[in-house]
Structure 1
Amino acid sequence: MRKLVLAASMALLTACSAPQQEQLNFTPRAVLSNSNIVNNATFSLTSKDVRSAQYVALVDSGRSNIEPIHSKQNVRIALENALLEQFQSQGFRSSVNSENSVTIEVQELLVSIKHSVMENEMDAKLVLELTAETPQGKLVKTYTGSAERNGALSASNSEIELVLNDVANLVLREVANDRELQGYMQERF
């Protein structure tokens, strides 16, 4: 029994001392409205992440070494919270038992980084599908944001975070300014 406890302790200490993989801060910012378009219209909000892989960045240093980097935050939850805040600023209210629903589907979020000692190229893309559904029907919209950035030297994590968050904020701004979506939710919710 003593040997088992000692072996388990060693395994635990070894796991704790293993180097932790780098992670990025994913902090999308909601675009807040100055005025309500509705007054307490309710909806339920759900989201899903259908990306094939959970990393948010792929770093290619050109030496047959491609390193994935994950987000510290849950991508689905971060985007759901930002969109919820946006809708609430427009006068909508989240409710569990509403007959109106908004579903967010994260289809793609990735920053591809190719870098060497002298330069870096970053390409970011976010694809988000939003479905607003009522008993009278539904509206499905796909929002796509992309960003490119080139720089000298290799890309730092803070530069990758900047591009990652910029592309998310671009898509959130597109959702906030979508008159068709606002009109649909305003009329039917």
Structure 2
Amino acid sequence: MKKLIIAIAVLVLAGCSTPREPQLTIAPSPASSNQQQVNNLPVVVKSKDLRTAQFVAVIDSGRSNVKPLHASQNLRVVLEDTLSRQLSSQGFRVVANGPGVLRLDILDALVRVKHTVFKHDMEASVQLQLVAESPEGRFVKRYTGKSTQSGVSSASPDDIELALNNLLEAVLQDIADDEQLLDHMKAHF
């Protein structure tokens, strides 16, 4: 009986000590604006994560060995905060309630990594949708980005983080530079 209890304890402890998959730190920087484009215009920022799966990377090592990697923090919260800081740098005043609402929908944010014995290929894709609504009208636009890169040996979690953060920053820069969106917000918020 003692041997059985010891065997069970060893199995339980071995199960607790198995390494976990690393979590990725997704923290893109907001696009910076050299000059304020509006003067203290209030905007409510909201967000929705409409992705079908919550992981941010998939590593395919062949032979049906596919592992998803998750972000260490909630991607929706990170992107909403980053967009809010970006809008503040453009001269908007982010408020809790108001007539003008800018909603960020996350449609896709994923890095696909394929490992072989001697190299890796990474393909990152991001698709964000902005919905600007006010009593005077609605504006909807999608922003997409794709990047690919290859390297010798396997991709590290740092490589995957860098690929996704860089692509998110490029898409956020597209949002900051979008004159159509800015004109709509100026006219209707």
What TM-score comes out, normalization by structure 1 length? 0.89
Q: Give how far 1:16 is off.
A: 5.6
Q: Which amino acid aligns with 1:128?
A: L
Q: Give how far 1:91 is off.
A: 0.8
For the residues of structure 2 that align with 1:107 and 1:116, how far apart are their CA atoms? 29
Q: Give how far 1:63 is off.
A: 2.2
Task: Report the aligned-residue RMSD.
Answer: 1.7
Q: Deviations over 1:110-167 (max 9, x none)?
A: 1000011201000010110101111110100100011101111111111111111111
For the residues of structure 2 that align with 1:130 and 1:37, how far apart are their CA atoms? 18
For the residues of structure 2 that align with 1:86 and 1:97, how far apart are their CA atoms? 19
Partner of 1:8: none
Partner of 1:71: 71
Q: Which amino acid aligns with 1:143?
A: Y
Partner of 2:44: 44
Partner of 1:3: none
For the residues of structure 1 that align with 2:45 and 2:13, how far apart are their CA atoms? 42
Partner of 1:22: 22
For the residues of structure 2 that align with 1:13 and 1:168, how far apart are their CA atoms? 40
Partner of 2:106: 106
For the residues of structure 1 that align with 2:134 and 2:94, how far apart are their CA atoms? 14
Partner of 2:150: 150
- Mapping of 1:80-91 within 5 angstroms? 80-91=80-91
Partner of 2:57: 57
Aligned length in residues: 179
Q: Give how far 1:39 is off.
A: 1.2
Where 2:182 maps in the other structure, the secondary structure is: helix
Where 1:139 maps in the other structure, the secondary structure is: strand
- Mapping of 1:120-135 within 5 angstroms? 120-135=120-135
Q: Which amino acid aligns with 2:105?
A: E
For the residues of structure 1 that align with 2:80 and 2:18, how far apart are their CA atoms? 33
Percent identity among equivalent residues? 42
Partner of 1:94: 94
Partner of 1:115: 115
Q: Is the 8 A contact 1:114 1:122 kept in 2?
A: yes
Q: Which amino acid aligns with 2:46?
A: T
Unaligned runs of 5+ in 2: 1-11
Partner of 2:172: 172
For the residues of structure 2 that align with 1:97 and 1:37, how far apart are their CA atoms? 21
For the residues of structure 1 that align with 2:153 and 2:60, how far apart are their CA atoms? 14
Unaligned runs of 5+ in 1: 1-11
Q: 1:95 to 1:15 in 2, by over 3 A?
A: farther
Q: Give how far 1:19 is off.
A: 2.8
For the residues of structure 1 that align with 2:72 and 2:13, how far apart are their CA atoms? 23
Q: Is the 8 A contact 1:32 1:85 kept in 2?
A: no
Partner of 1:137: 137
Partner of 1:7: none
Where 1:99 maps in the other structure, the secondary structure is: coil
Q: Give how far 1:96 is off.
A: 1.5
